[in-house]
Amino acid sequence: MTTYEILLMLDPEQAEARQDEIVARTRELVEKGGGTWRSHDPWGRRRLAYEIAHKGEAVYHLVVFDADGDTLSEVSRVLKIDDAVIRHMATRHIEGSRTSAPRDDAVPASAPSFAAAPVYDSGGAESAEVEIEIEDEEE
């Protein structure tokens, strides 16, 4: 059996009970297929980078489980036909890694990052000063 993780993006307009039902249904499919449920980590409501199905937010849930490929296919098939699931993505879980919710105070990836870059002279050697010559134009 392989360890998988699925990140669910659920419709924020659905009741919390409906969201719990989707996670419970996923767990039921995994266990019915002979797999083992490892964990469920609700990440909460997050703003989307772009709208999906006219929705600007989604409720994220990360589920981790052991299963074979057929069970994963069945779980994905069921999630695809559920209207409350905006998106889902299944990946193989890397042993020892810990996937966690993004922090709210994290710098967005689109924010510019400014760092001092070394200055090189024409010979490729690093230089501490930069000299700029400005020639006056004669009229």
Give the model confidence (pLDDT) of 29-43 as tens digits: 999 999 999 999 999
Give the model confidence (pLDDT) of 96-138 as tens digits: 777 766 666 555 555 555 555 555 556 655 555 555 555 666 5
pLDDT beyond 60 at 44: yes
Average pLDDT (7-28) is 94
What's the CATH number for 2-92?
3.30.70.60
Q: Where are the domains of the chain?
A: 2-92
Q: How many CB atoms lie within 10 A of CB 139?
A: 3
pLDDT of residue 4: 94
pLDDT beyond 80 at 84: yes
Task: Indicate the burial class of 107 (C-beta count within 10 angstroms; 0-12, 13-18, 19 or more).
Answer: exposed
Q: What are phi and psi of 132, to 5 degrees?
A: -120, 125
Greatest Cα pair distance in the chain: 88
Residue 55, classed as helix, strand or coil, is: strand
pLDDT of residue 94: 84
Q: Note the pTM of the prediction, 2 decimals.
A: 0.70
